[in-house]
Amino acid sequence: MELVVTRQQQEQLPLQDDALHWSRGFKVSASDVKLWKRICAEIATEINLLFDNWKYILAGLICQYIHGLAARGVHYLHRPGPTLQDAGFFLLPELGQDKGYISETVFTCVFLSFVLWTFHPFICKSKKIYTVLIWCRVLAFLVASQFLRIITFYSTQLPGPNYHCRQGSKLARLPRPESVLEVLLINFPRGIVFGCGDLIFSSHMIFTLVFVLTYQKYGTQRFIKQLGWLIAVVQSLLIIASRKHYTVDVVVAWYTVNLVVFFIDKKLPELPDRSNGASSLLLPLSNKDRDVKNKEETHKLMNGNSVDPADRRQRTQVNGKIQEDANGVHNDTNAMNGV
């Protein structure tokens, strides 16, 4: 009888080991719980911000489509011709048609890296930005720059230097569209990659510089900021060496985008800084919260209390009088001298 029991126990040992291994594999640590709570809290915060700012996000995305539609439209007006004389073409060796992917690869890495950085508040504990608010700002920079770009490349159509835009290429000119739908669909993404005529100024440099300038202001890693500027310079040289743009297209992009970001950034309200841990106090109020706050302020005024307790400054009483300066710092020389 004892031998039978021992064999049963031996047969059950592998099953117990498998169950123990399975439970350890699905064990949730305290750090995982904290991460999940952080993600849920960030999602709730960003949803509230998106509810208040969805019009700006939607308008920015619609303008991206309009920009693509304008670039597609100018392709119908493009007339191939001899490549214009360009200083960058003399100074930089031509990469060749088979190496045109290099500049696109660099741009794709910049684009994806920036997108991932804007979503880091969902995972990282230390954060400085709100994803929705930073994209509202970025879209404003992009839309303003792209609006100027549309004006410039429709004002003057230059013969494209890219290989598929030169004389003899079947893609250099587009046949007359058979329907309006053909124009509206813009043949994405092939129509964007193999476009012609939208030269001044470079769209790739618009995105690159906007991303670099945004991280320069709101990023925290100094090395990444310096690396971003280096990549922007390398991207400029690769675009010219790939013969995708003339040098003037890149040069105009550099000073135009910087000026656009500089002036629009001053017009937009400053983003709340989350690095000091007081982000909830600086978070923009929703319409409902704003109405509640207005009612509370009205109620305080009716009761004769016109001072917000959170905004009260320290006051000193000297000779029965309350004195304070404009900065809340008490520097009464008479009181110090006992007068």
Structure confidence by residue, pLDDT tens digits, 209-246? 999 999 999 998 999 999 999 999 999 999 999 999 99
| 70 vs 275: which has the higher pLDDT | 70
- For the chain, the C-alpha Rg in angstroms (whole number) is 30
pLDDT of residue 14: 52
The token pair at 183 is 């124009």
Q: How confident is the model at residue 104 (pLDDT cuts 50, 70, 90)?
A: very high
pLDDT of residue 32: 75
pLDDT of residue 338: 43
CA dihedral 88, 93, 96, 102 (to 10 degrees): -80
pLDDT of residue 100: 84
The token pair at 273 is 């800084």
Annotated active-site residue 299? The verdict is: no
Instruction: Return the residue matching tokens 């004002």.
Output: 155
Q: Taking a C-beta distance cutoff of 8 angstroms, is the pair 101, 109 a contact?
A: no
pLDDT of residue 291: 61
Annotated active-site residue 78? The verdict is: no
The per-residue pLDDT for range 36-64, each reduced to its tens digit, is 888 888 899 899 999 999 999 999 999 99
Catalytic residue, candidates 32, 52, 245, 332: 245
Catalytic residue, candidates 32, 78, 249, 299: 249
pLDDT of residue 263: 95
* pTM as predicted: 0.73
Catalytic residue, candidates 67, 164, 204, 265: 204
Q: How confident is the model at residue 97 (pLDDT cuts 50, 70, 90)?
A: confident
Q: How confident is the model at residue 308 (pLDDT cuts 50, 70, 90)?
A: very low
pLDDT surpasses 90 at 115: yes
Looking at the DSSP bridge assignments, the partners of residue 322 are 317
pLDDT surpasses 70 at 86: yes
pLDDT of residue 216: 94
CA dihedral 201, 205, 207, 210 (to 10 degrees): -100
Widest distance between CA atoms in the chain: 106
Q: Taking a C-beta distance cutoff of 8 angstroms, is the pair 252, 149 a contact?
A: no
Q: How far apart are CA 244 and CA 232, in angstroms?
A: 16
Instruction: Return the residue matching tokens 């109620």.
Output: 299
The H or E element containing residue 317 is strand 316-318
The per-residue pLDDT for range 154-213, each reduced to its tens digit, is 999 899 999 989 988 888 888 888 878 877 887 666 666 788 989 999 999 999 999 999
pLDDT of residue 233: 97
The per-residue pLDDT for range 247-294, each reduced to its tens digit, is 999 999 999 999 999 999 999 988 887 766 544 434 444 455 556 555
